Amino acid sequence: MLKKKEKYVVAVVGATGAVGTEMIATLEQRNFPIEKLRLFASDRSTGKTLQYKGQDIKVEALSETCFQGIDIALFSAGAERSKIWAPVAAKSGCVVVDNSSEWRMDPTVPLVVPEVNPQDLSWHKGIIANPNCSTIQMVVALKPLHDAAKIKRVVVSTYQAVSGTGKKAMDELMQQTTELLNFRQPTIAVYPHQIAFNVLPQIDKFLDSGYTKEEMKMVNETKKIMGDDSIRVTATTVRVPVFRGHSESVNIETGKKLTANQVRELLAQAPGVTVFDAPEKGVYPMPIDCDGKDDVYVGRIREDESVENGINLWIVADNLRKGAALNAVQIAEVLIK
């Protein structure tokens, strides 16, 4: 368990990636009580410097002894590295908040969104899992509705930005856009098809069921975070040519009837949610509204007239922020309290 201190030695693992740099910025913006910040990345990034509060901090290589003296480590270095290094860090007495998929469904590891299930942090054994970006923004909006009317079923379709894949995908969208506008053939490397001016109904690998791994992450993680296996979830996850900000169309069936106005009131009072819902004035959440913002934005709130107790929501959030870096830092903030 984390010892109570005034300031903490914090590490960011995968510091040079899109989420890692966002973690560093989030720690600074939220004024996390840091005594010393240490940065780690792959061998090819070792020796580079990154800025934190005007200081240049050198990026270090990972080693068996590098986590000694570190209190909290925020990992965003991929599942393979996390599988190896998170247990090493935990054995060194460090609490790991891991952003990869490696530990999320491990029954001994809590999967936490602070607005939804902070109580699960009480049983961590040194590793805490940060959920999938698309799951995080959805459950923040689902939680108050589940508490009020018990959610029975969720049907979600996502419209996910390329930054969810990383910097190379963002560069590829930029490059393909430039190539196509100059009447050249697009270079295809990161995704199986052209992403510029296109929509790909595939995120991650396909499973034998016909679902993708990303879709099943949303199904399984939602049940674990909400602490209710009875909630039925089905997902279709789609990559769209947007740089930053995931959007979701979410259809919810509840046990008890909720009107659209009741949903607006519940969400307006919910932590981490901004209701952005005046469609008659052209007001509804879009990725450009959420760039760099902490909250999950919800709009297009309306009753589903095809079922007895149905609600439709449109949910948008910055996937690098609340979908990754911010959620990890918020977990660390709850830990030090």
Question: What tokens appear for 124 in the block?
Answer: 């961590």
Q: What are phi and psi of 89, to 5 degrees?
A: -65, -45
Is the separation of the CB atoms in 335 and 72 below 8 Å? Answer: yes
* 133 classed as catalytic: yes
- Angle 55-25-35 from CA coordinates, rounded to 5°: 55
Q: CB under 8 Å to 281, separation ≥6 — which residues?
A: none
Nearest to 11 by CA among 52, 54, 71, 101: 71
In this structure, are residues 271 and 295 in contact, taking their beta carbons and an 8 Å threshold? no
Burial 148-164 (b: 16+ CB within 10 A, else e): ebebbbbbbbbbbbbbb
β-bridge mates for residue 312, sequence order:
251, 302
Question: Which residue in the list 66, 94, 124, 246 is annotated as catalytic?
Answer: 246
The one catalytic residue in 124, 133, 146, 290 is 133
Would you name the residues annotated as active-site residues? 133, 246
